[in-house]
Structure formats: C-alpha cells, structure tokens
Amino acid sequence: MSTRRSSAGAPPPTTYREALREGLREAMHEDERVFLMGEDVGNYGGCFGVSLGLLEEFGPERIRDTPLSESGFVGAGIGAALGGMRPVVEIMTVNFSLLAMDQILNNAATLLHMSGGQLGVPVVIRMTTGAGRQLGAQHSHSLEGWYAHIPGIRVLAPATVDDARHMLAAALADPDPVLIFEHGSLYNAEGVLDGTIEAVDLDTAAVRRPGTDVSVITYGGSLPKAMAAADVLAGEGISAEVVDLRTLRPLDDATIMASVCRTHRAVIIDEAWRSGSLAAEISSRITEQAFYELDAPVERVCSAEVPIPYARQLEEAALPQVATIADAVRRTVS
C-alpha cells in the first residue's frame, strides 16, 4: 500500500489500484487456496498494475501467468474452483471476456443448478470495463449489463476505494461465481480508506449523497461524474440524491425504491448503450414498483449507440458526462 502521508498526519490517500492489490494480498495471506491467474498478472504486475509485486511475495504457484486464451484460463479457473481452490481470474478487458462467455454462462453459472446442488463453482472473475481512456472500441465497452442478465452469478461494480479493498473477500466467501467489474478510469482515483470497515454487504446499494429533489442512480466509473453533477446542481438549488448500486446482480430494489419514494424523480446513469441496458431494467423496475411515487418520467443517460470512438473529442461526446447528467436532472425537476 502507498506510504504517502498528508502534512497534517491524516491517513494517507490510497488509489483504487492499491486498494484492489491490498484486497488480493489479504485474501492470499488468509487462505492458501486463493491464487491469481490471468494474462500478465505475474512479471508484468497486471495490465493495469493491480498485481504489481505479488509474484515476488507469493511465487509463481499462486500468481500464475496464462496464455492469451480467455476460454482456456477461465475454464481452468472453473475447474480449480470445482476442485476446492479459490481462484481469482483476471481478464484484461470486458471485451475479451466474450471469448470466455461459453465458460461463464454454460459452465460457471449453471453447474450448481444442473448438478442438483452438488457442484459449486466459487470462482471470482475480475475484469476492466468502461471507456474514457482512448483505447479504441475493442478495449472500451461497458458490457457488465450483459452479465447481470445471467442467473447463477453475482455481478459487482466497486466504485470507491473501500469497495475495491473489501469486495474481494466477500466475493471469495460467496459459494456462487462472482464477476467484479473495475472501471478503467478509477485505477488512479484516490481516497482515504475507512479503517473501521471489516466487511462489506454485497446485497445493499449505498446512498453516497443524500438529497430531496431527484434520485441519481448509477454505479462504477459513472459515480464520480454523478457526484460532480450533484455538486453543480446544488449550486442551482437542486438537491440530488446519488445512489451507488454496487451490486448489479442481484439489484437492491429496496434501496432504489426507498430513494425514489423520497425524491419522486429518478435519473439513471449507465455507460452502456441505452437499448436493452441495465438502465432500462432499473427504469422498468421503478415503473413496476414505484410508479405512483413519480412526479416525472424516469430519465436515462447512456452512451451513444456507436462503437466507442478512439478520437478523444468523439469518445467524450459518446459517453455520459457531468454536463449531460446535470441537464437530464434539470429536465426532470423542471
């Protein structure tokens, strides 16, 4: 972990990347069955630097570099979980996870059901998601909503350093397969870890900012944008409540509906495409469960329905931004 100290002697800030690394390190110290496998997780320290230094600390038996074959090494992780191990499988980006979709959908998510409860698959699969870093369409899409469609798995989207630090332990304790989506724009983000947290509840969304006029519902890399938009709107006298979903499957309907019942308006921020999106699912649930609480139609702010562009100005135009979030809120409360 970082050894930086503030001038006032306060706890040092920790990056999202460092928090993930500490979560991995703690899990491996506490349970010898836990090991990490994936492309470049060893000598290179992970494509995004999350596992830097872990090979030297735990050795090549527990920090395993794999060939560039997502179907192969995800399948190996599923087999290891069936054999009693607790593998953490890292996939470079969500786009490449599609090469392992057969393993995730047809094996990891279904074996417990198909075996009548005899074959649990407690594998954790981590991957980077999202755009905003000029990496081109094949490295930049937000497909976590696809996985949230699948019964038999849990889908997590940590957006804060505390969740990045503690979600892995809870995921490893889950008897079902767990997918963790880490937004690429968050790796360098800093925050001060809450030293009082010992565990996180994966079943509960979090109200990151209370408000009275509108519920802004989001997750992952869109949370900082939603919080920034709430700051802008506060200067205009609009009180936005920001809800961080944290877990995309199963969704915490209770927290979502409680927020909508307080504010009577909802704006959903989802970096995925609008058609068939997680935002569409949440909007539908609000309509089904809290329709008579609404004072305005539910708004959605999603990415443009195009492959994510490479050019910076085009990429920024295609993604939800602070300004477009604030504009959606203004329409909702006007």
Name the residues annotated as catalytic: 70, 139
Output the CA angle 154-104-224, nearest 5 degrees. 45
Question: Coil, strand or helix: which one is 254?
Answer: helix
Q: How far apart are CA 100 and CA 3, in angstroms?
A: 38
In the chain, the amino acid numbered 24 is L
- DSSP code, position 331: H
Phi-psi region of 80 (alpha: psi -120 to 50; beta: other; left: phi over 0): alpha
Q: Are 221 and 187 in contact (CB under 8 A)?
A: no
Residue 44 in tokens: 């290179």
Q: How far apart are CA 250 and CA 162, in angstroms?
A: 20
Length of the chain: 334
Q: Are 49 and 187 in contact (CB under 8 A)?
A: yes
Structure-token match 């990490």, residue found: 36
Distances (CA, A) of 257 to 161, 225, 253, 262, 328: 26, 22, 6, 9, 19
> In terms of Cα–Cα distance, which of 303, 300, 302, 305 is closest to 285?
300
Alpha carbon 135 to its chain's center: 19
Q: How far apart are CA 142 and CA 127, in angstroms?
A: 11
Instruction: Enumerate residues 6+ apart whose C-beta is below 8 A from 61.
Output: 35
Q: How far apart are CA 204 and CA 299, in angstroms?
A: 23
